[in-house]
Each structure stands twice: as structure tokens, then as C-alpha cells.
Amino acid sequence: MIIENLQTVQENIRKACKNCGRAYEEVTLLCVSKTKPVGMLKEAYEFGMREFGENKVQELCDKAEVLPGDIKWHMIGHLQRNKVKYIVGKTELIHSVDSERLAEEISKESLKKNVTTNILIEVNVAGEESKFGVSPDETVSFVEKIAKLPAICVKGLMTIAPFVENPEENREFFKNLRKLSIDITNKHIDNVSMSILSMGMTGDYTTAIEEGATHVRVGTGIFGVRDYKE
């Protein structure tokens, strides 16, 4: 099932890229494997997938320990400062930086471990009460502040769009995230690049690609629905 799902998702990505004149290689598919057993991740790995997203520190660390070392792990969930020490040095990218104190902690821990940690700024584009993320209005000044911290490198923006039936409803949010990343690029802030736009999930990744996503985070569409009771 996982292999068929991956083939379908890749085909959809290919079509979306074609529709908007982008190259398939511009889009990275992250397999969001939260709550799913290691055996399922192995199947995806054997199919050729190398980038996985998890939203809990403990789960990411446990899985990283038993799975092949060439997997790139993405931390996509809300991150507490007291857990930063466990994942610095183990992640390809932390997608969910949304406070100065969290950025400072990642910087401090990265210095200690003598690594540079790549991060994205999580933006709450739809202004949803229930969601984490910096508000769009505050994003530029937020990036300017944390860009000065040592041992971290801002690579772009991430958003979790609202859960909707029709992905067209999220198009405007994806457009706005892209606009924001262009505004930030035009500020030419030292140590900041806006090469990554992490947006789009199972319900809306093709729309996100049409609006410029470089990383789509797909869970259900690959591994099936999640059962949180287990």
C-alpha cells in the first residue's frame, strides 16, 4: 500500500510541477511518519525515500536510532526549549521556530555541539488561534532579530494551513507565504536565505506546489490515517 501511495503522490507532484512550469526536482517530498511504526518507514526507505518528518522529539530520536544513517530527519512539530538539546545535531532542518527564546536555545545548543542548525520560521498565515507560528506582520522583524544568533541558519519559511475540504481555500495563504519570503529576500539580511518554502500537506500539496512550495509534508497520503489511540 505504501509503495502505491508513494507512486501516486510522486505522480501528483509531477503533474502539479508540469502545470505551473516548475521542475519536479525543485520539490522535496517529506514523508511525515509520526505515530507510524518503524516497519512502515522502512518500506518507504526501501522505495527510495530519504527525508522523513516527525513532530515529537522522542519519537524522532527513537526512530533515527534504529533506521539507516542516511535518512534526513525533519522536525516539523512544535518544539519545547527543554527538548532542543536532544535533537540538535540530528536534524536536517527544524521547521517550527516561532520564538526568540527557542531560536536562542537552538543557537546555544548548536554552539555547544559545534554544529550549524538549519531552521525555518513557522508563520501562522491564516491567523488561527489554535496554531503556533509568528504572525505575518511580525515575521520580517523576527527574522532580523534571530539572524544575528550564531550557529543557526535561517533557510526559509514554513506554514501549516487550515484544514479544509477544498484546497483552493488555502491558495491565498500559500501565495502570502511566498510573498513574505520574497519581501524577506529583498531585505538582504546577513545569514538568511529564503530558499525553502515548506507548505502543503495531504489535502493541499498540489496547490502549494503551484504557489511555490519547495518542501511538501505528506503523512496520511503515504502512510494512511493516523490512530492516536495506540
Interface residues with ligand PLP (CB under 6 A) are: 32, 34, 55, 76-77, 160, 201-203, 217-221
Least distance in Å: CB of 202 to ligand PLP? 3
Least distance in Å: CB of 114 to ligand PLP? 29
Least distance in Å: CB of 116 to ligand PLP? 23
Task: Determine the 3-state secondary structure of 228 from DSSP.
Answer: coil
Q: Which is nearer to ligand PLP, 22 or 56 (CB)?
A: 56
Q: Are 167 and 203 within 8 A, CB to CB?
A: yes
Q: Which is nearer to ligand PLP, 30 or 152 (CB)?
A: 30
Q: Measured between alpha carbons, how far is 201 from 212 in angstroms, rounded to an integer?
A: 14
Cβ atoms < 10 Å from Cβ of 47: 15
Least distance in Å: CB of 56 to ligand PLP? 10
Is the C-alpha dihedral spanning 215, 30, 4, 200 positive or negative?
negative
Least distance in Å: CB of 212 to ligand PLP? 17
Q: Which is nearer to ligand PLP, 13 or 149 (CB)?
A: 13
Q: Are 196 and 93 within 8 A, CB to CB?
A: yes
Q: Measured between alpha carbons, how far is 214 from 199 in angstroms, rounded to an integer?
A: 8
Q: Which is nearer to ligand PLP, 35 or 108 (CB)?
A: 35
Closest CA to 206 of 20, 6, 5: 20
Q: Which is nearer to ligand PLP, 142 or 205 (CB)?
A: 205
